[in-house]
């Protein structure tokens, strides 16, 4: 059976899952989304993802045409129909089809889309040996222009940074904010460890309030490790003892080199490994 994609309450074969070319989601990136993981058939922190989706929508004055409980039910139905137990779910809400002008008031019918698919995981090697990343020239969106807290369909800022990373041979790239402080990676939040304390940029650095970030902060504090959300510079990254990234897709992944400089002793550190284990325990991920 072909993969079934949900659009506005109906399921379509993947090849037939289509929306209008007049949809402002396509024309202008006018819409919001979420990326979530399911473990053993359950979406990790589904309610938190729904809350963030509703917040992103509110920030762009987009009314999601169904209730949170209905969407939660539909997410589970889409996973079940596709027999996906451990996988990835993409929720998309577009502004809907309109005129060729920008005016969102001239659109109708926001499209609610659920794609449940198998996830292309980072290779095991990244978890065992760590990732190499680079800092890039592309600045993270200024929060006063387009707040990175809004998980909008307008991801060009991240894509430009990703391209720079790829050109340097790295799958992930670290962006600074408009002040030159550490912000986040293209699809992941960043953490450092220095002298036993965990540091991560605060939300007001202009970053997405990552759901994995939040879970890892909780896990670290429960384990008795101090976590500080504060301004961090590129210097702090270079001199850190350990570094790791968090994201729904990546989970917790160690970083061993930044701009070709080894972090700590150039291997995944003990705290990173411990938090990776604790996070897997939390999600129930079998790996």
Q: How far is the CB of 213 from ligand PMP (least distance, A)?
A: 6
User: Please, which residues have CB within 8 angstroms of residue 245's CB and are 6 or more apart in sequence?
Assistant: 131, 133, 172, 185, 188, 189, 190, 191, 252, 253, 255
143 counts as binding ligand PMP under rule CB under 6 A: no
Chain centre to alpha carbon of residue 200 = 16
* Residue number with CB closer to ligand PMP (97 or 190): 190
Residues 50 and 68 sit within 8 Å (Cβ to Cβ): yes
Annotated active-site residue 257? The verdict is no
Q: How far is the CB of 52 from ligand PMP (least distance, A)?
A: 7
Task: Give the whole-angstrom CA distance, residue 96 versus residue 20.
Answer: 8
Task: Give the whole-angstrom CA distance, residue 130 versus residue 211.
Answer: 22
Candidates 18, 106, 151, 179; catalytic one: 151
152 counts as binding ligand PMP under rule CB under 6 A: no
What residues are paired with 116 via a beta bridge? 89
Binding mask 167-196 for ligand PMP (x = CB under 6 A): -----------------x--xxx-------
211 counts as binding ligand PMP under rule CB under 6 A: yes
Residues 278 and 219 sit within 8 Å (Cβ to Cβ): yes
Q: Which stretch binds ligand PMP (CB under 6 A): 64-72, 76-84, 161-169, 246-254?
A: 246-254
* Residue number with CB closer to ligand PMP (200 or 246): 246
Q: How far is the CB of 215 from ligand PMP (least distance, A)?
A: 8
* Residue number with CB closer to ligand PMP (163 or 267): 163
Q: Which of 76, 78, 200, 246 binds ligand PMP (CB under 6 A)?
A: 246
Q: How far is the CB of 214 from ligand PMP (least distance, A)?
A: 8
94 counts as binding ligand PMP under rule CB under 6 A: no
H-type alpha helices, the chain: 24-28, 46-59, 68-81, 124-129, 156-167, 211-222, 234-238, 270-283
Q: How far is the CB of 99 from ligand PMP (least distance, A)?
A: 30
Residues 244 and 272 sit within 8 Å (Cβ to Cβ): yes
Residues 189 and 208 sit within 8 Å (Cβ to Cβ): yes
Catalytic residues: 151
Residues at the site binding ligand PMP, with contacts judged by CB under 6 A = 35, 158, 184, 187-189, 208, 210-213, 246-248
């Amino acid at each position: 059976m072909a993969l079934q994609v949900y659009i506005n309450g109906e399921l379509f074969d993947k090849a037939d899952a289509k929306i209008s070319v007049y949809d402002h989601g396509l024309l202008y990136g006018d819409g919001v989304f979420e990326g979530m993981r399911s473990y053993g058939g359950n979406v990790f922190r589904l309610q938190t993802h729904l809350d963030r989706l509703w917040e992103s929508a509110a920030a762009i004055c987009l009314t999601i045409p169904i209730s949170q409980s209905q969407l939660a039910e539909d997410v589970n139905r889409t996973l079940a129909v596709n027999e996906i137990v451990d996988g990835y779910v993409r929720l998309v809400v577009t502004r809907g089809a309109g005129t060729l002008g920008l005016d969102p008031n001239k659109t109708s019918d926001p499209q609610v889309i659920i794609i449940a698919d198998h996830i292309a995981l980072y290779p095991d090697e990244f978890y065992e040996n760590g990732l190499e990343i680079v800092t890039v020239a592309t600045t993270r969106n200024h929060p006063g222009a387009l707040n990175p807290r809004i998980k909008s369909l307008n991801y060009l800022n991240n894509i430009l940074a990703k391209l720079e990373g790829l050109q340097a041979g790295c799958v992930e790239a670290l962006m600074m904010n408009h002040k030159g402080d550490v912000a986040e990676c293209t699809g992941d939040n960043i953490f450092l460890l220095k002298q036993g304390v965990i540091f991560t940029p605060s939300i007001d650095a202009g970053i997405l309030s990552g759901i994995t970030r939040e879970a890892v902060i909780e896990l670290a504090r429960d384990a008795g490790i101090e976590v500080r959300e504060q301004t961090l510079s590129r210097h702090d990254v270079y001199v850190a003892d350990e570094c790791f990234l968090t994201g729904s897709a990546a989970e917790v992944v160690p970083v061993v080199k930044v701009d070709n400089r080894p972090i700590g002793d150039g291997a995944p550190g003990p705290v990173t490994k411990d938090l990776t284990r604790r996070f897997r325990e939390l999600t129930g991920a079998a790996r």
